[in-house]
Amino acid sequence: MVRGKTEMKRIENTTSRQVTFSKRRSGLLKKAFELSVLCDAEVALIIFSNKGRLYEFSSSSINKTLERYHRKAKELGIGKIAVQENLQKLKEEVVSMSKKIELLDVSKRQLLGGCLESCSIDELQQIEETLEQSLSNIRARKSQLFKEKMKQLKEEERILVDENAKLREKCEKQSPVLSITLQVAQREVSDVETELFIGRPPERRPS
């Protein structure tokens, strides 16, 4: 036969309630014993009847188990308090960071020329000084980059001049005729007379 489902409510009949208590208590104590043996667990069970009678089971010593329970509960309580304190600190930090981000956003928009309607004269003066300092820093950095670039170009020019001199020396050693020709060409170029006249140029005398 299939047992009907027991309705979970107080049994009104005293005799039936006592019989049910006795059966369930024995079964619960048996299960506690089996759990301690099969799983090597420390088990303590305390039962008080409705008349105040005590029934208990412990796999070792119920006092030691209770002491262990109180220590663990205290540790968990302290840990819970610490977690709550950390959460509170994190919430405060989040609020603080949100305010800082909002201020930075407003400051950024003010530096770009927006949100100036609510600014006082002192605040506008401070914004102006900040912009001037930023502009000065930008110009200084720009000047530094120009100097570094000029230095780099001069170094590249020096390297090219050195390479040109080495190539000319190599050509002179390999081809003396070419070297003499180059020297003559250079002298002819240097002997060319260039004159600038305003108006009618004077007549040249025959050589």
Domain edges within the chain = 14-76, 77-118, 120-168
Q: Compute the average pLDDT of residues 17-28.
A: 93
User: Containing H/E element for 35?
Assistant: helix 14-39
- Distance, CA of 43 to CA of 66 (rounded, Å): 10
Q: What is the mean pLDDT of residues 145-163?
A: 92
pLDDT at residue 134 in the model: 86
Confidence of residue 120 (pLDDT cuts 50, 70, 90): confident
Q: How confident is the model at residue 3 (pLDDT cuts 50, 70, 90)?
A: low
**Can you tell me the distance from the alpha carbon of 45 to that of 33, in angstroms, rounded to the nearest whole number?**
10
**Residue 35 predicted with pLDDT over 80:** yes
Higher pLDDT, residue 138 or 196: 138
Task: Give, in words, the CATH class of 14-76.
Answer: alpha beta
The whole-number average pLDDT for the span 124-144 is 89
Distance CA 168, CA 147 (A): 31
Average pLDDT over the chain reads 82
**Residues above pLDDT 70, as percent of the chain:** 82
Model pLDDT for residues 180-202, shown as the tens digit of each residue: 665 666 566 555 444 544 445 55
Give residue 198's pLDDT: 46
Q: Which of 33-37, 75-79, 127-131, 202-206 has the weakest average pLDDT?
A: 202-206
CA atoms within a 13 Å half-sphere pointing along the CA-CB vector of 156: 6
Going by pLDDT thresholds of 50, 70 and 90, the confidence category of residue 45 is very high
The pLDDT of 148-163, averaged and rounded, is: 92
Span 80-116, pLDDT tens digits = 777 788 888 888 899 999 988 988 888 888 778 887 8
State the sign of the Cα–Cα–Cα–Cα dihedral 159, 162, 166, 172: positive
pLDDT value at position 184? Answer: 65
